[in-house]
Amino acid sequence: MSNGDVENIVKCIKKHLRNNFPKGVCVPSPDEANEDGATRFVQKQFKEAGLDCPRDTARGVVRRAWDQVR
């Protein structure tokens, strides 16, 4: 795979994310959902955008978001 191929793939990924996550991922607050519920909510958003998001990754997103508001 050439550097040009890699650059094209990166451009396609960025475009897909801009089109499917224009405002980013929404994470429910700790008052709105428990950690498992928030994790499933994050995973659902990725799935709807055509992307896989493993549970551990989604849980990490939730924990980082919650750490920012605490």
Structure-token pair, residue 41? 């909510």
Residue with tokens 């890699």: 6
What are the sequence ranges of the domains in the chain? Answer: 3-69
Stated pTM of the model: 0.77
State how far the alpha carbon of 26 is from the alpha carbons of 2, 11, 12, 39, 70, in Å: 36, 24, 23, 11, 17
Q: Does residue 17 have a pLDDT over 90?
A: no
- Identify the helix (H) or strand (E) that includes residue 56: helix 55-69
What span, in angstroms and rounded, lies between the C-alpha atoms of 44 and 63?
A: 17
pLDDT in tens, 41-51: 999 999 988 88
Instruction: Please report which confidence band the pLDDT of residue 11 belongs to, taking 50, 70 and 90 as the band edges.
Output: very high
